[in-house]
């Protein structure tokens, strides 16, 4: 009986996701063979309603799952449906072609959006503990210096800084070669979060006449190092959002705002379970954000502490969502190991 009620809940969720219309006892029986009559289904439905799992938009309409209903569905009914092996193969071959990290993440996020037909998000891997691998200085134009910071995790960040005009001749190639050697000696192997003191020392040991230029370079490096510790998100499938909203009362506008903001998303992803491969689902109100009250997030950790996720209307296909997110998270983790 308990069993059957959940089965009915599952059928309601499934039909509602498919048709986007409140589902009634009769049409439910048309699509699912439950082995009982419509009247019985009706009785169970009113029990489900008492429990707050489904609700009626108005008397004499069908039922619609509530957030709590989706939650129960995800927790007790939905079974993870492993991807078919052609799917797996397709994913593998598509991702294996990836050149570097950026490429891999871009491909992943696109694939995720395409497979789930939702908005896909991939958090850039957290690299807080990255160590410096190499610092490079390149004089680009007469008065421009390019500062490049390369970490052991293989990330490269650069910044162009202007050199004080009129001082050009003083800073010749040798000067920069020397500075580069000293910089590398000072910071290579150190955590990017712990560059302030070695850089300060280096600056202190610089002859006063050259301090201006060195100070510029040191400042750029510090700002690069800080940038490095900031998280970023890449996104794909924003158009899917509009698609779900077409015949459905979702306000797309504030959602697009949020997607562009990134800040809320970062906080959201950051608050999710970090265990690699573990999928977590947040439904509607469970995300404590007004603009996201009508949406759900299915996320999973990958590597250490980073996340990938999909975001869509609470009325989304959780089964394929969960499977796909899980599969891709596992795949990316493995790829990066």
Partner DNA sequence: GATTGGCACTCGGAAGCCAACAGTGCCAGC
Partner DNA sequence: GCTGGCACTGTTGGCTTCCGAGTGCCAATC
Rule CB under 8 A: which residues touch its own copies?
99-101, 133-134, 136, 138, 140-141, 144, 146, 148, 150, 152-154, 156, 158-161, 220, 223, 236-239, 241-243, 246, 252-254, 256-257, 259-260
244 or 314, CB closer to its own copies? 244
Question: Is the CA virtual torsion 131, 136, 137, 141 positive or negative?
Answer: negative
66 or 244, CB closer to its own copies? 244
Report, in Å, the least distance between residue 72 CB and its own copies.
32
142 or 247, CB closer to DNA? 247
- The residue among 276, 289, 281 whose CA lies nearest residue 330 is 276
Contact between 193 and DNA (CB under 7 A)? no
48 or 121, CB closer to DNA? 48
Choose the contact partner of 311 out of its own copies, DNA, none; CB within 5 to 8 A by kind: none
CA 120 centroid distance within chain: 7
Beta bridge partners of 119: 311
Choose the contact partner of 46 out of DNA, its own copies, none; CB within 5 to 8 A by kind: DNA
Beta bridge partners of 156: 150
- Per-residue binding string, DNA, 31-70, x by CB under 7 A, is -----xxxxx-xx-xx--x------x-xxxxxx-------
Beta bridge partners of 154: none
Q: Is 27 exposed, middle or buried (0-12, 13-18, 19+ CB in 10 A)?
A: middle
- The residue among 317, 334, 330, 333 whose CA lies nearest residue 15 is 317
Contact between 22 and DNA (CB under 7 A)? yes
Q: How far apart are CA 288 and CA 299, in angstroms?
A: 16
What is the crossing angle of helices 252-261 and 263-270, to 10°? 80
Choose the contact partner of 193 out of its own copies, DNA, none; CB within 5 to 8 A by kind: none
Contact between 24 and DNA (CB under 7 A)? yes
Q: How far apart are CA 5 and CA 44, in angstroms?
A: 6
24 or 69, CB closer to DNA? 24
Q: Provide φ and ψ at 227, rounded to 5°.
A: -55, -45
8 or 104, CB closer to DNA? 8
Task: Show Cβ contacts of residue 171 under 8 Å, excluding neighbours closer than 6 positions.
Answer: 163, 210, 213
Choose the contact partner of 286 out of DNA, its own copies, none; CB within 5 to 8 A by kind: none
Report, in Å, the least distance between residue 29 CB and its own copies.
34
Report, in Å, the least distance between residue 49 CB and DNA.
6
Q: How far apart are CA 143 and CA 162, in angstroms?
A: 6
38 or 150, CB closer to its own copies? 150
Choose the contact partner of 327 out of DNA, its own copies, none; CB within 5 to 8 A by kind: none
Neighbouring C-beta atoms of residue 84, cutoff 10 Å: 9
The residue ranges that bind DNA (CB under 7 A) are 1, 4, 22-27, 36-40, 42-43, 45-46, 49, 56, 58-63
């Amino acid at each position: 009986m308990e069993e059957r009620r959940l089965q009915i809940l599952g059928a309601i969720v499934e039909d509602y996701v498919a048709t986007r219309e409140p589902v009634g006892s009769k049409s439910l029986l048309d699509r699912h063979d439950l082995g009982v009559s419509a009247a019985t289904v009706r009785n169970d439905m009113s029990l489900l309603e008492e429990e707050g799992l489904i609700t009626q938009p108005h008397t004499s309409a069908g039922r619609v799952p509530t957030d709590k209903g989706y939650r129960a569905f995800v927790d007790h009914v939905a079974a993870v449906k492993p991807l078919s092996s052609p799917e797996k193969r397709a994913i593998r071959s598509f991702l294996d072609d990836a050149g570097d990290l950026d490429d891999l993440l871009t491909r992943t996020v696109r694939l995720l959006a395409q497979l789930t037909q939702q908005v896909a998000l991939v958090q850039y891997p957290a690299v807080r503990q990255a160590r410096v691998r190499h610092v490079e200085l390149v004089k680009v134009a007469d008065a421009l210096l390019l500062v490049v910071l390369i970490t052991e995790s293989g990330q490269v960040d650069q910044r162009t800084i202007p050199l004080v005009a009129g001082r050009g001749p003083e800073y010749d190639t040798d000067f920069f070669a020397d500075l580069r050697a000293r910089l590398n000696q000072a910071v290579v192997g150190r955590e990017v979060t712990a560059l302030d003191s070695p850089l300060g020392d280096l600056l202190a040991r610089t002859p006063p006449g050259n301090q201006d230029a060195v100070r510029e370079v040191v400042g750029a490096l510090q700002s690069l190092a800080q940038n490095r510790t900031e998280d970023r998100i890449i996104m794909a499938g924003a158009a899917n959002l509009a698609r779900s909203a077409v015949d459905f009362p979702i306000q797309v506008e504030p959602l697009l705002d949020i997607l562009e903001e990134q800040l809320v998303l970062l906080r959201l992803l950051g608050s999710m379970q970090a265990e690699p491969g573990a999928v977590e689902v947040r439904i509607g109100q469970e995300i404590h954000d007004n603009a996201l009250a009508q949406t759900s997030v299915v996320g999973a950790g990958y590597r250490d502490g980073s996340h990938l996720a999909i975001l869509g209307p609470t009325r989304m296909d959780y089964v394929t969502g969960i499977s796909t997110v899980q599969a891709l998270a596992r795949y990316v983790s493995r790829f990066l190991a």
